[in-house]
Homo-oligomer: A and B are copies of this chain.
Amino acid sequence: MRNGSAGGARPASQQSMRQHNLALVMGTVAGHGPVSRAAVAGHTGLTRPAVSSLVDALLAAGLLTELGPAANGRVGRPGSALMVSDRGPAGLGLEVGVGHLGVCVTDLRGQVRAWTVVDSPNAALPPAEVLARLAALADEATETAAGLGLRPVAAVMAVPGLVAESSGTVESAPNLGWHHVPVADLWAGPLPPRVENEANLGALAELWAHPVAADFIHVSAESGIGAALVVGGRLFTGARGLAGELGHMPVHPDGPSCSCGARGCLEQYAAKAAVLRAAGLPPSRPGDTGSPRVREGDGIGLLAARAREGDVRVVRALEKAGEALGTALAGAVNLLDPAAVVLGGAYAELGEWLVPPTRRELAARVTVRAWDPAALTVSELGRRGPLLGAALATVRSVLEDPAALGA
């Protein structure tokens, strides 16, 4: 019974106390900075001598920085204000999309300091070649970061597929044609990356950059439809890390056959290919699904452009997709009671047409509790989410356990 008995398996010790309190100070400065040591003591309940000792360790590790006394008008007596450092340790985000590669560096404040996205027909290349291209981009970004005084301490890679938890291997990414690809072993770039599902990272980016709630469902659509569940400010990944398969929730149990073998799954109504088909448009070109830029050749960009022009078939197809999405989400909301639902990824670019029918279905089917239609929102990050989330994941790790970086 995991987590079932109280107190966890480890004894509390002086060492774990210090580790906890370092994170407490780091989190306080991150959330309230610039702040004086006295204010940190006030926020945390720690004594001033304890705060001073912890702050010294965080300064020495380069995780905090001091502004001059002049920069902080809020403290009466001389004493410099503390902020999280914008130099030193940083996060390196990597992304392998179906049609693009991305690299991003963020500092500990969560600010993007380097950002590169290039087209790359990854589904048509051997994984080793894809990873070699990405490693070259990562080397460049690391050099750029070094010029800014930043040193990436860990790398996380976003992939459109299933990833075993805490692993360097992609189990299965069908749209890339990847199966059991040992990314960590093939990697020749600057840091061995931890691989993570892109939808999960997109949701975390949303949580960290634009928090709408501590409990929400983040819907992500590229070629398929996935969801990430954020519970109490943490990603909920299920017993085997495979939670969030919103795309295969049954919408019409006797509906059309799905590639998964079942019938009437949400993807048969609301995935890009289904919407293009319903709109009488040709399937999008392989390899052009993941670009963060809207292009005519990209199915999503085409749908948005045609809908904006008032193409009735396209508008109607998007309305049907929104209805199906609303039906599936109604089940999810009834089951999970989230505070919000966020439409992210490519869906963010179709929000104008998807949101009204999705909200209507949610209103009609979430009736045993109060449900505010405005609780369904569109991501501001859209397709930028996974890459940003990949870089921020490292930043969050540092904030949550500064002791691991030697503080």
Residue positions of A touching B, CB distance < 8 A: 1-13, 16-17, 20-21, 23-24, 26-27, 30-31, 44-46, 50, 162, 207-208, 211, 213-215, 227, 229, 231-234, 236-246, 248-253, 260-263, 327-328, 330-332, 334-339, 364-369, 399-401
Contact = CB atoms under 8 A, between A and B. Distances in A.
A16 B16 CA distance: 12
Contacts of A241: 337
B7 A335 contact: no
A367 B260 contact: yes
A224 B244 CA distance: 26
B27 A250 contact: no
A167 to B, nearest CB: 16
A31 B5 contact: yes
Nearest to A242: B337
B5 A27 contact: yes
B233 A1 contact: yes
A187 B354 CA distance: 50
B338 A335 contact: no
Contact of A236 (B2, B208, B231, B262): B231
Contacts of A252: 252-253
Given A12-B17, A238-B336, A367-B262, A207 B4 contact: yes
Copies in the complex: 2
A248 B368 contact: yes
B401 A237 contact: no
Contacts of A5: 27, 30-31, 399-400
A335 B244 contact: yes
9 contacts: A1-B211, A5-B400, A6-B27, A7-B23, A240-B369, A243-B337, A248-B366, A250-B330, A331-B332
A11 B46 contact: yes
A187 to B, nearest CB: 26
B24 A368 contact: no
Nearest to A265: B365
Nearest to A22: B7
A6 B238 contact: no
Contact of A250 (B2, B4, B365): B365
B1 A24 contact: no
Given A253-B251, A337-B243, A214 B369 contact: no
A337 B239 contact: yes
A405 to B, nearest CB: 13
Contacts of A260: 367-368
Given A249-B331, A253-B327, A261-B367, A6 B26 contact: yes
Which of A13, A244, A262, A328 has the largest number of chain B CB atoms within 10 A?
A: A262
Nearest to A369: B242
A208 B250 CA distance: 32
A31 to B, nearest CB: 6
4 closest pairs, A vs B, by CB?
A238-B337, A6-B400, A7-B23, A4-B233
A91 B328 CA distance: 41
A167 B370 CA distance: 19
A12 B7 contact: no
A339 B2 CA distance: 12
Given A20-B12, A367-B248, A238 B338 contact: yes
Nearest to A399: B6
A3 to B, nearest CB: 4
Given A4-B211, A229-B336, A252-B253, 15 more contacts: A2-B214, A4-B207, A4-B233, A6-B26, A6-B27, A8-B20, A10-B45, A213-B239, A229-B335, A238-B337, A240-B337, A243-B335, A246-B335, A251-B253, A335-B336
A231 to B, nearest CB: 7
Contacts of A44: 11
A253 B250 CA distance: 10
